[in-house]
């Protein structure tokens, strides 16, 4: 079922709640792929009434970014969503979400001030604002996010805690193609040769994992090796590469426990991100 109006969504969800159903919610920007489906399948199993939103949120794109070019395929998405058992697809217009005179944003400190937040100023303000709006519209629910956008999941968890939202957050592992490339709607923009070069993100992460397994504990050394791998791809340009604490996203110099290794790389005109949680204990086992 496709719903475009907030008031209609609220009516349907109140009815579902009256029937004692729990609500599962998977927010997306559409162009659905296996990464989204893994969240949808989990939500389908764990909750009674499943809502997926499809909304390319204008407030999280800077004017210079790819809002206009972002892949859109509402018809295809609706078919796939129905096949996989989504009860309701919420696909509002930008005008429905941002009424004239819109002036209120959610701004989070610290966690948003690094990694993707540094290279995309205003991005997390847009994300936090739209996720807050969507949570307010959907109401109490279990909401599903992907580890692929690790920083986003940390920011959303923090926001839910800080603002006392009645939402339980679940974060599920990154779904990859068979050669390791993380699924992403933006992969559609890659040419055949860029698609091959895009593998350097995953290769760099695997190298980081191997180095830690071999006993390397200095983040600097790991990043150096990762840089070398990415430098081997002619169209690649590094945006950032970090080894950070998975909870507070602060830089780690010497690895002692689990770390998040994350990177953003431009492949031609397409910016891709990926990450891996790496733990020295696990690697040594």
Question: Which residues participate in catalysis according to the annotation?
Answer: 36
202 vs 179: CA distance, rounded Å:
9
Q: Is 146 in the site for ligand AMP (CB under 6 A)?
A: yes
Q: What is the closest distance, in whole angstroms, from the C-beta atom of residue 17 to ligand AMP in the complex?
A: 24
| DSSP sequence for 214-247 | TT--BHHHHHHHHHHHHHTSTTEEEEEEEEE-TT
Q: Is 80 in the site for ligand AMP (CB under 6 A)?
A: no
Interacting span for ligand AMP (CB under 6 A) from 12-20, 35-43, 193-201, 222-230 = 35-43
Which is nearest to 90 in space by CA: 143, 147, 38? 143
| DSSP sequence for 134-169 | HHHHH-SEEEEEEGGGHHHHHHHHHHHHHTT-SEEE
Which is nearest to 53 in space by CA: 173, 137, 125? 137
Residue of 3, 9, 23, 36 interacting with ligand AMP (CB under 6 A): 36
Q: What is the closest distance, in whole angstroms, from the C-beta atom of residue 138 to ligand AMP in the complex?
A: 15
Residue of 39, 154, 236, 241 interacting with ligand AMP (CB under 6 A): 39
Residue of 159, 175, 201, 226 interacting with ligand AMP (CB under 6 A): 175
Q: What is the closest distance, in whole angstroms, from the C-beta atom of residue 110 to ligand AMP in the complex?
A: 21
Q: What is the closest distance, in whole angstroms, from the C-beta atom of residue 256 to ligand AMP in the complex?
A: 28
Pull the structure tokens for residue 156.
């959303």
Residue of 12, 169, 183, 277 interacting with ligand AMP (CB under 6 A): 183
Residue 37 main-chain phi, psi, to 5 deg? -60, -35
108 vs 162: CA distance, rounded Å:
10
Pull the structure tokens for residue 216.
């390397």
Residue nearest to ligand AMP (CB): 146
The CA-based dihedral angle spanning residues 240, 246, 250, 252, taken in that order and rounded to the nearest 10 degrees: -80
Q: What is the closest distance, in whole angstroms, from the C-beta atom of residue 268 to ligand AMP in the complex?
A: 19
Contact assessment for residue 197 and residue 267, using Cβ atoms and an 8 Å cutoff: yes
Size of site (CB under 6 A) for ligand AMP = 16
Contact assessment for residue 89 and residue 3, using Cβ atoms and an 8 Å cutoff: yes
**Which of residues 66 and 216 has its CB atom nearest to ligand AMP in the complex?**
66
The DSSP 8-state label assigned to residue 30 in this structure reads: S
Q: Is 29 in the site for ligand AMP (CB under 6 A)?
A: yes
Interacting span for ligand AMP (CB under 6 A) from 78-86, 91-99, 161-169, 183-191 = 183-191
Residue of 37, 49, 145, 202 interacting with ligand AMP (CB under 6 A): 145
**Which of residues 28 and 219 has its CB atom nearest to ligand AMP in the complex?**
28
Q: What is the closest distance, in whole angstroms, from the C-beta atom of residue 72 to ligand AMP in the complex?
A: 11
Q: Which residues bind ligand AMP (CB under 6 A)?
A: 28-29, 35-36, 38-39, 145-146, 148-149, 174-175, 182-185
């Amino acid at each position: 079922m496709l719903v475009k109006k907030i008031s209609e969504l609220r009516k349907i969800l109140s009815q579902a709640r009256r029937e004692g159903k729990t609500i599962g919610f998977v927010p997306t920007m559409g162009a659905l792929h296996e990464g989204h489906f893994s969240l949808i399948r989990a939500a389908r199993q764990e909750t009674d009434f499943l809502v997926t939103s499809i909304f390319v949120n204008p407030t999280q794109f800077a004017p210079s970014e790819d809002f206009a070019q972002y892949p859109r395929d509402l018809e295809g998405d609706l078919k796939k969503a129905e096949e996989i058992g989504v009860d309701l697809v919420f696909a509002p217009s930008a005008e429905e979400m941002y009424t004239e005179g819109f002036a209120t944003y959610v701004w989070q400190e610290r966690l948003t001030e690094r990694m993707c937040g540094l290279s995309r100023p205003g991005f997390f303000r847009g994300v936090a604002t739209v996720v807050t709006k969507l949570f307010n519209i959907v109401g109490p629910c279990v909401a599903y996010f992907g580890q692929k956008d690790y920083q986003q999941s940390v920011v959303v968890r923090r926001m839910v805690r800080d603002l006392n939202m009645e939402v339980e957050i679940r974060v599920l592992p990154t779904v990859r193609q068979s050669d390791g490339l993380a699924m992403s709607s933006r992969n559609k923009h890659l040419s055949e040769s860029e698609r091959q070069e895009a593998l350097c993100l995953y290769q760099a992460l695997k190298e980081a994992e191997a180095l830690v397994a071999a006993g390397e504990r200095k983040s600097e050394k790991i990043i150096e090796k990762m840089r070398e791998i990415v430098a081997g791809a002619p169209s690649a340009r590094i945006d950032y590469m970090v080894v950070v604490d998975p909870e507070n996203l602060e830089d780690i110099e010497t690895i002692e426990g689990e770390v998040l290794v994350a990177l953003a790389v431009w492949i031609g005109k397409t910016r891709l991100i990926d990450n891996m949680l790496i733990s020295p204990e696990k690697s040594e086992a």
